[in-house]
Structure 1
Amino acid sequence: MQTLQTCTPARLCYLHLASKEPQRQIDFYRRMLDMGCLAQPDGSWILSGPQRAMLVSPADHSGLLAAAYDLGDQARLGELRARLIENGCAVEDIDSPLLEPCAFLIRDPQGRQTIFGVSRTDSSADRPGMPGRLQHVVFQTTELEAMIDFYVNTVGYTVSDNVVDEQTGQLMVCFLRSDDEHHSLAFFRGSKNEWDHHCYETNEWNDIRDWGDRFAKERITIFFGPGRHGPGNNLFFMVVDADRNRLEFSAELEMTDAARQPGVWPQEEYTLNSWGRAWIRS
């Protein structure tokens, strides 16, 4: 089976956020994540830092509008587009200031937007700042099986690990990869359909410490972690931004061979945090 990982590897490259108070949100990411700001003609802003970027647009609500993946070159992008169309997935052309021409978006059965393209030359790579590459995005959904079917069988993500309720046998969480990293996308079964969090991958444990110290100086409290996830085996902690969106900082995320079979984990606190208490979605 053709997958993103084996045929057209894709890496999360930016998020498009809506914000009711965009200036406050921009100030947060400039101050806390070392991101520069560039105003756009349409009233949005590009924020960029070392291996991380986002668009912020003013809106009557706050949250995630789209997640964008970089295919690396136009040949891979064209191959993915053709495969999606062959699989019956509608594609829509999109112009993005962060992507080369020919980018497009797709919508999942619940309306989430995913953009695929080729990143423009990244001038932010040399920008000074603490290490934290934008790495994954996670959602809660009321229709977990339908979402996994779409992202695996239509788009081409690969299941890395499943979390299962041992009493009912019901799937509760699914971690999906688009390249060799354990996951760039995940879904939790929940009572709402909403953006759960996004994550920045650091280089090592000491980076987790340094990010924690940075937030502590601003009196921004960690609400989950520090700890270690079972699926992915990564160190982590989570905080919230100015709009109360949740963001994670991670280190040592597992690299996953294409031939590896999906793992199965029990739905329990130890799975989500082997060091202690966990945030269990409901």
Structure 2
Amino acid sequence: MPDTVAQAGAYLHHVAFESANPERLAAFYGDAMQMEVEKISETQWRCEGPARRMIVLKGEDKKLGFSGLAVRDADGLEMIRERARSQSVEILDNPSPYFEDGAFAVRDYDGHLVVFGLSKAAYVKTMGWPRANAAAPIWGPVQHMTYRTQNIEGFYEFYHKKLGFRMVDRVVRDDGSIATIFVTSNHEHHTIAAFDGDRTGMDHHSYEAGEWSYLRDWCEHFASKGIQLMWGPGRHGPGHNLFAFIADPDGNWIEISAELEVIHDRPCEDWPHEARSLNTWGKAILRS
């Protein structure tokens, strides 16, 4: 069966997080992630920067509201919709304000809501944000999401088998069981990944700086705001990307990534379940 979502060229366009203190969380992303913040209602804030968008909803701390994946064109969107229907995946209403009419949502086996749609014209991803001076926002579009799951086989079945995300890499334990899965919806190494573990929920979401110099700039920016790195800089094995992590006030992990592998036609690879696969440079925070 074809990798339908990957053929449609979907990419992570925006994310929505719940928070018991949404105004505080939105203000943090405005400052730390260089976004403009707008209060839409008593229960919703929007944060927007160059090719990065976040919706903050009043609710439960550290809970994903939904993720929004934009698709290249209407034909691709219909391909994904028909693939989901053919696999008996329930088609749900679109909760996102960033997508055109015709967008739809699905819910994975862990309850995460994933929205597919066509971006409204004002929010189409651009590929070369000009940074004319040091005061301009640093490049870093929202790029991927990583979950923790107690049902790693269900993650594989839903995203790869039912929807048609392309399998890229796996981390495999000595006994042959899967510790981590990476799947992509486009040419980048992964759009969604999952660690097999003892809880269900978010692990982190990531912004792609593109080049090492921009990762450096992000770290300098965080330092200027008094925000300490919680992990990194380092280099992952799968994806080969450079990384640094911070945490927001609710405890959500934020990754800044650089030079993520571009995938063309290589087969899925298996990595050993060891610290070096997670960070080839040093300390690893193992979650599976």
Coarse TM-score class (shorter-chain normalised): over 0.9
Report if aligned partners of 1:39, 1:46 keep a CA contact under 8 Å in 2: yes
Output the amino acid matched with 1:193: T
Shift of 1:80: 1.3
Identical-residue share of aligned pairs (%): 34
Q: Tell me how far apart the structure 1 counterparts of residues 196 and 139 of structure 2 sit (CA, whole Å).
A: 31
Q: Are positions 1:154 and 2:157 aligned together?
A: no
Q: Tell me how far apart the structure 1 counterparts of residues 67 and 193 of structure 2 sit (CA, whole Å).
A: 13
Q: 1:41 to 1:222 in 2, by over 3 A?
A: closer
Shift of 1:35: 0.9
Q: Tell me how far apart the structure 1 counterparts of residues 236 and 60 of structure 2 sit (CA, whole Å).
A: 35
**Residue ranges of structure 1 left out of the alignment (5+ in a row):** none
Q: Are positions 1:138 and 2:142 aligned together?
A: no
| Residues 40-62 of structure 1, C-alpha deviations (whole Å, 9 max, x = no match) | 24731221110100111111434
Q: The residue matched to 2:121 in structure 1 has which SS?
A: coil
Q: The residue matched to 1:102 in structure 2 has which SS?
A: coil
Q: Which residue of 1 aligns with 2:286?
A: 280
Report if aligned partners of 2:8, 2:79 keep a CA contact under 8 Å in 1: yes
Q: Tell me how far apart the structure 2 counterparts of residues 197 and 224 of structure 1 sit (CA, whole Å).
A: 12
Q: Tell me how far apart the structure 2 counterparts of residues 281 and 97 of structure 1 sit (CA, whole Å).
A: 33
Output the amino acid matched with 2:273: Q
Shift of 1:26: 1.0
How many residues of Structure 1 are paired with residues of Structure 2 in the alignment?
Answer: 280
Q: Tell me how far apart the structure 2 counterparts of residues 89 and 260 of structure 1 sit (CA, whole Å).
A: 29
| Residues 226-257 of structure 1, C-alpha deviations (whole Å, 9 max, x = no match) | 11101001000111012110000011100111
Shift of 1:95: 4.4
Report if aligned partners of 1:5, 1:180 keep a CA contact under 8 Å in 2: no
Shift of 1:64: 1.1
Q: Which residue of 2 aligns with 1:236?
A: 243
Q: Which residue of 2 aligns with 1:206?
A: 213
Output the amino acid matched with 1:269: A
> Which of 270, 274, 280 is the matching residue for 1:268?
274
Output the amino acid matched with 2:246: V
Q: The residue matched to 1:28 in structure 2 has which SS?
A: helix
**Residue ranges of structure 2 left out of the alignment (5+ in a row):** 131-135
Q: Which residue of 2 aligns with 1:19?
A: 19
TM-score (norm 2): 0.92
Q: The residue matched to 1:93 in structure 2 has which SS?
A: coil
Q: Tell me how far apart the structure 2 counterparts of residues 244 and 6 of structure 1 sit (CA, whole Å).
A: 31
The within-5 A match list for 1:81-92 is: 81-92=81-92
124-133 vs 9-18, which moves further: 124-133
Q: Tell me how far apart the structure 2 counterparts of residues 123 and 148 of structure 1 sit (CA, whole Å).
A: 30
RMSD, matched Cα? 1.7
Q: Which residue of 2 aligns with 1:7?
A: 7
Report if aligned partners of 2:104, 2:116 keep a CA contact under 8 Å in 1: yes
Q: Tell me how far apart the structure 2 counterparts of residues 264 and 248 of structure 1 sit (CA, whole Å).
A: 23
